[in-house]
Amino acid sequence: MEENLIENENLNENDVKEPDNIEAIIEGLLYVVGEDGIKASMLSEVIEKSLEDTKVYLDNIENKYKSEIYGIELVNYGGVYKFLSKKSVYPYATKLFETAKSSSLSQSALETLAIIAYKQPVTRVEIEELRGVGSDMMLRKLLSRNLIKEAGRSEAPGRPILYEVTDEFMDSFKLYSLEELPELPDFNNNENDNLFE
């Protein structure tokens, strides 16, 4: 919520004037609260208007966004008002998220993901031995994207966490099983003979 606010340190209470368009203020507040939404009673306290007037403003905003020229709408679920994207946006949003998932992975993330997919279950130390660099941060990023998950602990000293890919990984890369992964090339030099083995 707070990340959507633009603060002005020089603004004090005496500078706050009665807005010309209270509905614009309400729209801004609805944007700030995001998916948490806000109850009309709380909104009326914030804008210092009666609950009845506040509901009239909300009704006006709801009717305004019913127009086809807007991609969002104001909804009221259980007395909580919030902006949501319209149903017509859904197929495009799905495409956007699928594109972002595949295109936003860095080379390092893809390397780490490949090692886990081919070697799973695998520990962080094993991943780092193959990559030659620390992978702690990369593992956290992949975990946060739900592309990998913890799969118990190894019997090795210290019982390190084991990692494997998730169903989300399979969906993102359109795989039915890990057997569909391409075969790794054979390397003739001894240095690479045991890669991923």
11 pLDDT tier (thresholds 50, 70, 90)? very low
Q: What predicted TM-score, i.e. pTM, was given to this entire model?
A: 0.46
Q: What is the mean pLDDT of residues 97-105?
A: 63
Q: What is the mean pLDDT of residues 26-47?
A: 91
Contact 74, 81 (CB under 8 A): yes
Where is pLDDT greater, at 6 or 90?
90
Residues 6 or more apart whose Cβ sits within 8 Å of residue 146: 166, 168
Q: What is the mean pLDDT of residues 127-136?
A: 86
24 pLDDT tier (thresholds 50, 70, 90)? very high
| pLDDT for residue 135 | 82
b/e per residue 26-46 (b: at least 16 CB within 10 A): bbeebeebeeebbebeebbee
| pLDDT for residue 4 | 44
Contact 32, 1 (CB under 8 A): yes
Q: What is the mean pLDDT of residues 23-50?
A: 92
How far is it between the farthest Cα atoms of the chain?
79
- In tens, the pLDDT along 158-193 reads 788 899 998 888 887 787 878 777 776 554 444 444
116 pLDDT exceeds 70? yes
My answer on whether omega of the bond before 157 falls inside 30° of 0, hence cis, is no
